Amino acid sequence: MRYRVLLIMAVGLTGALPARAAEPIAVLPREVPAAARDVLLPPGAIRTFGDTRFRHPGGISGSALSPDGKRLATAAAHSVIIWDTTTGRAVCRMDTGDGGRWARPPLTFSPDGAKLAYGATNAVYVWDAATGRELKRFRDPRVKDEWLEHTFGPVVVFAPDGRQLVLDRLGPRPGQHAIEYYDTSTWALVRSSPEPAPAVISPAGPTAIGLDRDGSVVFSDPGTGRLVKRLNVASGGARLALSPDGKVLAIFRRDGAVEVRRVPSGDEVHSVPGPVPPRTSVGPRSAFTPDGKTVLVTRPTGIARLDLESGKELSPLPHGYDGRYGDPSTLHVLPDGDTLLVCGTDGLAHRWSLKTGKKVPRPDGYENWSQAAVAADGRVLAVEDRAGGVDLWDLTTGKRALTIRESTKGVTALAFSPDGRTLAVGRTTGEVEVRDLPAGPVRAKYQTTSKREEGQRFVSAVQFAPGGKVLLATSCYGRLEAWDLATGKRVWTGPDAEAFAISPDGKTLVSSLAGPNVVVSDAITGAERRRAKLGGKLSEGSGGQVPALAFAPDGRRLFIATKDQHIRVCDPLKAEERSAFVVAEPLKTSFGPQGSAPKALTFSPDGRWLVTGGDDRTVRVWEVDTKQEVRRFVAHDDEVRMVAFGPGARTVLSAGADGAVYEWDLRPDPAPPGRSIWDDLAAENAGVAYRATWSLINDPAEAVTLLRSKLPPAVAPKAEDLARLIDRLNATKFADREAASRALAEIGPAAGPALRAALDKGPPAEQRERLQKLLDHLSADPPPLDLRVLRAVQAIELAGTPSARRLLAEWAAGAPEARLTEPAKAALARLGTN
C-alpha cells in the first residue's frame, strides 16, 4: 500500500471545490499545442487525470528494455507504449487493435535500439522506436478476420547483429510451425525451417536457444537451423533468460528450480531449488543484472536474487503485489545496476533500489479498476487510487482540489449527493462512508450485508436518492439496502441487485437481477411492485445480463442496457419494453462473437443526449429522440465503467477498468463550407444536426440573431379554431377528416389540452380513433420540424449568454404547451439552478 500513516489532507483551502454559481462555463481550448500535448492524450480528449508517468492503462502484460536502458516498451491489451526510463514520460504510443494476444506477448528491441518488434497471435508489428512509425506488419493471408486464427507463436527475436528478425509461424494443424528469418533491411524472407522456436539468440557461437514441446532446451545454429545440442531438463523448462553478454543461460524449470548453464557448451554451473509455481502460473519473470553476476526471479512472495558465482540466494526483495490487484509481469535492471523496474498487471512500472531494497516513490496516478464519479452539476470529479484514498478534481480548472487519505481499505464505489455537498465512499470491506464536502470528514458509516466471505464483501454500487436524504447501496452478491441519513437507520432491505436506478421523483426504484430480469419497487418503502423479463438474446440465470439502468431526466422513460448490445427503452413504472436500439458491436474473440454490454449510461441535463460506455472500450454520444450516434471516442484499453457530463454539458468524462479517466470535447469537426445551419437543424441524419447545433453553440451572438428571426414565440391557437377542426374529424367527407387531422398535427402540443378534453367526452368511433392517434403522435418521437425546434432550444441553452437567456425567456412566454414554449421554459429553469 502506498500510505501507512492515517491522515486527511486538503490541497489548498477548505473551500477549494468550485462554487456552484449560474455563470456560463468558459469554452475549453479545442486542442492543446502540439509541443505540450501528452502523447497519451487521445484524439478528442481535453485532459486525463492523475500522473501518467510509468502508467500503462489496461495493465502491462509484456515489456522490453532498450539495449542502452534509456527506453522501456510496455504492452497492454490493445497498445504498446515506449517510455523514457529517466523521466517516466511516454515517448510514443502504438495501437495494436483488437487482435488476439498472448498472455505474455513477445516484445523486443533490435540490438541497436532503433526498432521495436511486438508479436500478437496473428500479426507481428515492427516500429521505429524513436517515433512509433510502423515499419512492417506481418500478417498471414489465410486470416480473413483478425480474431479467427492463431498464425504466429509467441516468439519474436532479433539476431545479435540486428540484420534478421526471427518469427514462429504456425501451421494449419496443431504442432505444425516454421521458424522464419527475415532480412530487416528489405523484410524479405531469408529462410524457413521446422526447427524449435528460439526464445533467445546468443552472440556466443552464435547460438539460437529455445524450448522444445517436451521441455528440453535446444541449441541450434541460427544461420542454418542445424541442431547443435539438446539438454534434457528435469521436470522440463518453463522459461529461459540470457545474461547481457550471452554467455550464461538461466533455465527456469517447471518445478521451480533454476539451472544455470554456460553458452555455447551447455555445461551446468549451478542448480538452485525453488518453490513450485502455481499451476495457473505462466512461469516466473526474470532479469540479469548488467554485470551478469546476479539473476532475479519472481516468486509469489517476492523477488529472489541468485548469486551466479556461489549459486546461493541473496536476501530477497518484495515486489509489492499480493495477487489481489495485480501481479508482476516483467523485470528489468537498468544499466546503473541499482534500479529495478517491476512491471505489473496493475498497469504500473514500479521502481526499486537493489542497493537499499527500498521502493522508489511512484508517480501519483491511478491503477486498473479505479472508481470514479462526477457531481450532478458536472463541476467535481472523484477518483479513488486503490490504496484507500480519494482525490477530488475541480473540473472548471482541471486541478486537484482535495485529497483524502485516512484509510488503506480499497474503494470500490463512489457517489455524490444531488447537491454535490456529500460524497459516499464504498469500500472493499462492505462499509459505506458518508463524507461532508468540501473538507471531507466522515459524517456516518454503514455496513452492508453480504453472503460472501470476508475479503469479498466489497460495495459494488452506491447512490443517493433524489433529495439526498436516503442512501442506497449493494454489495457483491448482497441485497440492495437503504439508510435514512438523518437517523442513520436502515429503512429497508430489498432483493439482490446487480444494478439499480431511482426515478427523478424519488418514488420508483428499478433493479436488475441475474438473467434478463428486473424488479420494480417502491423507492420509499422498498416494497416490490412487479417483476419484468426483458427480451433479446440474454442468458437466463447468468450475471451481467443487465449491467446498467437510467431514467430519463423527465422520468417518462427508463433506459436499460443489456448484454446483447442493446438499450431497451421501457415504461418507467412497469419496465415493459417500448422499443430498443443497438449501441455497440459484438466483441470479437478467438471463441467467436461475444456480447458487448454497455456498462454505464448517463443523460445530458435536458435529456436530449445519452452517453454510453461499455465492453467495447468506446464512449458514444446518442441523440435520444432519433436514437442515432452523433459522437464517438476511443482510447480506453479496457471496458468503460463510468460516463458523466462535465461543466455546462460541454464535455463528457469517462473512467475505465484500465485506470484511465478522460475528459472529452463534445464539439465535432466544423461543417463543410456552404452548409445551411437552419436546414441542417432539421436533418434526419442526427450527426449533421449535431454539427449544426454546435455551430450555434460556438457562436452565441449569431445563433441568437438567426433563431430569433426564424423561430418567433408560439402563438396560441384560437379555441374556436381548435373546436372547428376537432368537429371536422367526424365530417362526412373523408378528405375533410384527413385535412382536419393534418391541421391538428401541425399545431402540435398546443392542441393537446383540447384533444384530451374532446376524447373525454366519448366521441364517435372514428373521431375517437383520430383523436387518440393525434395524442399518440404527440408522445412519439418528434418529426424533423419538431426536432429542429428542440435542437435550437438546446443550442441556446448551452450557449448560456445573457442574450441567449433573453431569447429563451421570449420563447417561454409563448403559447402554453407549444412545441417551442415548454422546452424553453425547462431550459430557463435549468439555467436558473446551475
Please count the residues of the chain. Answer: 834
Q: Assign 744 a pLDDT band (cuts: 50, 70, 90).
A: confident
pLDDT above 60: residue 4: no
pLDDT at res. 104: 80
Flag the least confident range among 247-251, 456-460, 617-621.
456-460
pLDDT at res. 451: 63
pLDDT at res. 589: 64
pLDDT above 70: residue 18: no
- CA-CA distances (angstroms) from residue 76 to 13, 39, 56, 328? 39, 16, 7, 13
pLDDT at res. 590: 59
CA dihedral of 231, 237, 241, 242, whole degrees rounded to 10: 0
pLDDT above 50: residue 620: yes
Tell me the pLDDT tens digit for each residue of 23-61: 333 333 334 444 445 788 999 999 999 989 999 988 899
In the predicted model, what is the mean pLDDT of residues 98-121? 87
Q: At what angle do helices 700-710 and 802-812 cross, to 10 degrees?
A: 20
pLDDT at res. 536: 83
| Measured distance CA(526)–CA(428) in Å, rounded | 25
Report phi then psi at 686, rounded to 5: -65, -30
- CA-CA distances (angstroms) from residue 29 to 32, 33, 665? 7, 10, 9
Tell me the pLDDT tens digit for each residue of 430-465: 999 999 998 888 999 999 987 665 556 789 999 999
pLDDT at res. 88: 93
Helix, strand, coil in percent for the chain, rounding step 5: 15, 35, 45
CA 679 to chain centre: 36
Structural domains of the chain sorted by starting position, each given as residue range(s) with its CATH number in brackets:
1-33+368-485 (2.130.10.10), 677-833 (no CATH)
pLDDT at res. 1: 32
Closest CA to 798 of 669, 662, 703: 703
DSSP state of 822: H
Contact criterion met (CB below 8 Å) for 383 and 390: yes
pLDDT above 80: residue 508: yes
DSSP state of 607: S
Report phi then psi at 823, rounded to 5: -60, -35
pLDDT at res. 56: 92
Tell me the pLDDT tens digit for each residue of 265-302: 999 998 888 887 765 455 678 999 999 999 999 887 88
- Among 124-128, 140-144, 254-258, name the most confident range: 124-128
How buried is 98 (Cβ within 10 angstroms: 0-12 exposed, 13-18 middle, 19+ buried)? middle
Closest CA to 688 of 715, 716, 668: 668
Place of cell 429553469: 829
Tell me the pLDDT tens digit for each residue of 661-700: 999 999 999 888 889 999 999 999 999 999 999 999 999 9
3-state secondary structure of 665: strand
- How large a percentage of the chain has pLDDT more than 70? 90
pTM: 0.88
Residues 6+ apart with CB under 8 A from 760: none
- CA-CA distances (angstroms) from residue 440 to 217, 397, 505? 59, 20, 28
Cα dihedral sign, 669-674-676-677: positive
pLDDT at res. 278: 62
Tell me the pLDDT tens digit for each residue of 298-332: 887 889 999 988 888 888 888 777 656 678 889 99
Other Cβ atoms within 10 Å of 280 Cβ, number: 5
Tell me the pLDDT tens digit for each residue of 462-502: 999 999 999 999 987 678 999 999 999 999 998 888 899 99
pLDDT at res. 799: 96
pLDDT above 90: residue 91: yes
Tell me the pLDDT tens digit for each residue of 791-833: 999 999 999 999 999 999 999 999 988 889 999 999 999 998 5
Q: At what angle do helices 784-799 and 821-833 cross, to 10 degrees?
A: 20
pLDDT at res. 311: 86
pLDDT above 70: residue 574: yes
Higher pLDDT, 754 or 608: 608
Flag the least confident range among 557-571, 660-674, 703-717, 765-779.
765-779
Cis peptide before 782 (omega within 30 of 0): no
Tell me the pLDDT tens digit for each residue of 333-378: 999 999 999 998 888 899 999 999 898 888 777 887 788 999 999 9
* b/e 768-797 (16+ beta carbons within 10 angstroms → b): bebbeebbebbeeebeeebbbbbbbbbbbb
pLDDT at res. 388: 85
In the predicted model, what is the mean pLDDT of residues 557-576? 93
pLDDT at res. 595: 67
Q: Assign 13 a pLDDT band (cuts: 50, 70, 90).
A: very low
pLDDT above 90: residue 238: no
pLDDT at res. 2: 34
Neighbouring-strand partners of residue 192: 180
DSSP line for 504-573? TTS-EEEEE-SSSEEEEEETTT--EEEEEE--SS--TT-TTSS-EEEE-TTSS-EEEEETTTEEEEE-TT
Contact criterion met (CB below 8 Å) for 784 and 682: yes
CA 314 to chain centre: 42
pLDDT at res. 475: 85
Mean pLDDT of the residues in the chain? 87
Q: Assign 211 a pLDDT band (cuts: 50, 70, 90).
A: confident
CA-based radius of gyration for the chain:
31
Other Cβ atoms within 10 Å of 244 Cβ, number: 14
